Structure formats: C-alpha cells, structure tokens
Amino acid sequence: MLKEIYEQPEVLQTCLSHYLSEDHPLSSSSAYSFIPSNLSQIHILGSGTSRHAGLVAQYWLEQVAGIPTRVRSASEFLSAPLPLVANTLTIAITQSGETSDTLAAARQQKNYSRLADTSTCQLIGITNQSESSLARTVDHILPILAGNEIGVAATKTFTTQLAVLACLTVHLAHCFKTISQERSHQLITELQYLPAKIASVLEQQQDIIQEIAQKLALAKHCIVLGQGVNRAIALEGALKLKETTYIHAEGYAAGEFLHGPVALLEPNIPVIAIVMPDQSYEQVINTVRKVKFHNVPVIGITATTIPSAALQILDHQITLPTTDELLSPFLTIVPLQLLAYYTAVQRGLDVDRPRNITKTLVVPES
C-alpha cells in the first residue's frame, strides 16, 4: 500500500499525459466521441472507493459543466435503478473491472437502454483493466493507466480515476461553454502541476503524519469532515481508515454533521477536518469551532493560505500546497491515505491483507 501511495505522482503524470496532449491541451475530440451530442444527464455507478471518485466527479460535473449528475451505489442499482431518459451518459467506475455489483448494474443499464430504445444513451467504463468483464460490457472504455494495484485498499487507482473524471469534466464544460477558454486552460495547467505537488506532500508531511498516527492508533472511533468538493474525500478517508485500521471511522459533510451526528462527540473521538481555502471554508471552520467547544482533538488537513488565527484552534496540522480549489481532492486524499497506512502499522496490523475484505468482490453467478 505504501509503495502504491508513493507511486501516485508518476501514475498521475502518465494518466494526465494520455488525456492532455501538450500541443493541444483540450485533447482531440475523438477521445470523447462517445458523448451524446445532446447530453441530458450523467449517471455514475460504482462501489467503495470507485463510488467516492464518482461523488467527487458529481461535484465537478454539476458545478463546473452544469450537467445534472446522479451517483448510485452499484449494489443498490438493481433494486433502485436511475430513471433513464434520452441522451443519458452512464459511467461505470471500477478499477478492477470485475466487481459483481458494478457489472450487474452496468448490464442492467444496458438492457434498459435497449428496451427503452434510447439509442442516444451511452454506457462507458472507467477502469484500470482494459481487458476486463466491464470492458466487454460497455460501449467505450476510458483507461486510468495506474499500473497494477495489489494493495487491497485502493490508493493510486483513486487518484487516477479522479484524473480521468477531471479531464472529462473540463472537456464537457468547454464543449457546453459553461467555462471560458481561459478557465479551462487554467484548470488544465493546474492539473499538470499536481504530480509534483503530491510528491511534495509525500516528502514533507510524512513525519507529522506518523506522529499523528501514533495517537490516532489509540482511538476506537474517528470522524472525518469535509465539505463541497471534499465531502467525498471525507467519506473516502473514513473508508481507508476502516479498511486498514478497523477504527470505526465515519465521514460527514461538515455542515450536515451539526444536524445530529454532533451528538457523537467525546474527547476520546478525534475529528479530522479538511479545511481548504474554498467556498466551504467558513462552514468547515464554523463546525471545527463547535467541535473544539466539546474539547475534542482536531487534526486539520489545511493549506498554506489558511489564516494562521484559524489554524490555532487545530491540535495538529497537515499543511498542503495550494492548488485550484476544484482540484484540492487530489491533494487532500494523500494525507488520509498515509494516515490510514501508518495508523494500521502502529496498531500492528497487516495493511496489505486486511481482514474480511478482498481486493475485488466477485460473487459467482448462481
């Protein structure tokens, strides 16, 4: 797992280079020829970490490209399919391309599309395995090019899934003119800086994260807060902690946390808060103040531009380089992956073979 966390700058670079060629940064439109020309909505299907990548993308696709987007857990899809209308693009996300729930959901969507004669609908897959069962099911594959991932807890496949989804969002926003040419170039340029920024997080924040992990290892419960584009990162960070450390970790949107879950707070339940300099900053810092009022330790994942007065209420800080506020998930997830890894090691656990879970959940057909 640690090796794969450290491979992220390199694989992200490979993936971005595939989707953004240097002399024509918006990539050739043939790369996206599968997109219905009158695209009406996007459905995203996935499980676990792949679903969380879909939730980050939902924020991007709706807020940047203005496309109504729904994400459904693949395991719920058979009993609660999403209504299909003409010109729907469905994206099945699965790093392995073999997760039974995701395959079943993708196949069901394909059948619906046939029955409803919605020939304008398209089904595509985002996967690390171009020769997988998913690849044989969908109309088109967008590869994430992460190289083999062996660690049960997905890390580098998550950041490369995000890269594909970010490129797709910029392309759609550009096509539908929801952002200016200048803004799309800005986002593309910032995407290209991310591998180096992740490398600097891995190099500079390792010591503080190991120090925090020693304390976190003693906890039985933990809460992870994020908001806006980082809400899904709070969910993914909590999933990484559950998978590797067996600490009961839950991710919440910082604002929603105050509407009930706040009752959980106790001084021995640490809170990890993603405090980024973006639109959600006031809401997150307001929640952090309320959390501190209950004498709860707060670990902040912050950026260099956060005012120092606000940082004083945090018990620990993991400081990230600045990036475009839309793209911060590429950076905020990295300390959460490392924290999960080092906390599990501190608890004497086998990080690469966590109990009860498998890398790919395949249920044999009956």
Q: Which residue ranges make up the site for ligand BG6 (CB under 6 A)?
A: 47-50, 94-96, 99, 102, 154, 357, 360-361
**Which residue, 27 or 132, is less far from ligand BG6 as judged by CB?**
132
Least distance in Å: CB of 315 to ligand BG6?
Answer: 30
Q: Which two tokens stand for residue 121?
A: 């609908």
* Tokens standing for residue 134: 């998913």
Residue nearest ligand BG6 by beta-carbon distance: 48
CB of 157 to ligand BG6, least distance (A): 7
Cβ 245 to ligand BG6 shortest distance, Å: 14
Cα 272 to the chain's mean position, in Å? 17
Shortest Cβ 96–ligand BG6 spacing (Å): 3
Shortest separation between residue 129's beta carbon and ligand BG6, angstroms: 8
Q: Which is nearer to ligand BG6, 156 or 197 (CB)?
A: 156
Considering the complex, what minimum distance in angstroms separates the CB of residue 270 from ligand BG6?
A: 23
232 contacts 52 by C-beta, under 8 angstroms: yes
Task: Give the end-to-end CA distance of the chain in Å, rounded to a whole number.
Answer: 33
- C-alpha–C-alpha distance, residues 322 and 319, integer Å: 9
Q: Which is nearer to ligand BG6, 96 or 317 (CB)?
A: 96
Nearer to ligand BG6, 259 or 355 (CB): 355
Identity of the residue, 188 or 233, whose beta carbon is nearer to ligand BG6 in the bound complex: 233
Q: How far is the CB of 15 from ligand BG6 (least distance, A)?
A: 15
> For residues 113 and 110, what is the distance between their CA atoms, to the nearest angstrom?
5
* Residue number, 41 or 49, with CB nearest to ligand BG6: 49
The smaller minimum CB distance to ligand BG6, of residues 50 and 160, is found at 50
Which residues make Cβ contacts (< 8 Å) with residue 260, sequence separation at least 6? Answer: none
d(CA 355, CA 4): 20
Residue 337 Cβ vs ligand BG6, minimum distance, rounded to whole Å:
12
Of residues 48 and 270, the one with the C-beta less far from ligand BG6: 48
